[in-house]
């Protein structure tokens, strides 16, 4: 059963959906080579952000003890993935 949303949340949800449709509509009607260029720009942007985060973690997350840095990084990543999964389950169930 779908949870009933307050009026302001419904309006916000409709505005977001309209914005998404507008962006998608504009992207669809770009020429193919422009779509490829935008896809490459977005991909490179994601890679550069990831690279920056990676370098910051490498420089500041236990830089003297690489084994502990790697193992603790894996542990923190797994904990964050588990927590985000639990949060998504709660959001999806409407709790």
Domain ranges of the chain: 64-95
Contact 27, 41 (CB under 8 A): no
| 43 pLDDT above the threshold of 60 | yes
What average pLDDT does the segment 77-86 reach?
A: 94
Percentage of residues of the chain with pLDDT beyond 90: 45
**CB contact burial 52-81 (16+ within 10 A = b; e otherwise):** eeeeeeeeeeeeeeeeebeeeeeeeeeeee
CB 49 within 8 A of CB 57: no
- Residues 6 or more apart whose Cβ sits within 8 Å of residue 9: none
Question: Which H/E stretch holds residue 72?
Answer: helix 66-93
**pLDDT-above-70 percentage for the chain:** 88
């Amino acid at each position: 059963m779908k949870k009933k949303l307050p009026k302001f949340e419904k309006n916000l949800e409709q505005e977001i959906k309209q914005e998404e449709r507008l962006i998608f509509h504009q992207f669809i009607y770009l020429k193919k080579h422009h779509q490829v260029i935008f896809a490459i720009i977005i991909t490179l942007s994601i890679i550069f952000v990831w690279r920056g985060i990676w370098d910051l973690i490498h420089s500041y997350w236990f830089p003297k003890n690489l084994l502990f840095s790697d193992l603790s990084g894996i542990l923190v990543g797994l904990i964050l993935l588990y927590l985000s999964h639990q949060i998504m389950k709660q959001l999806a169930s409407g709790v």
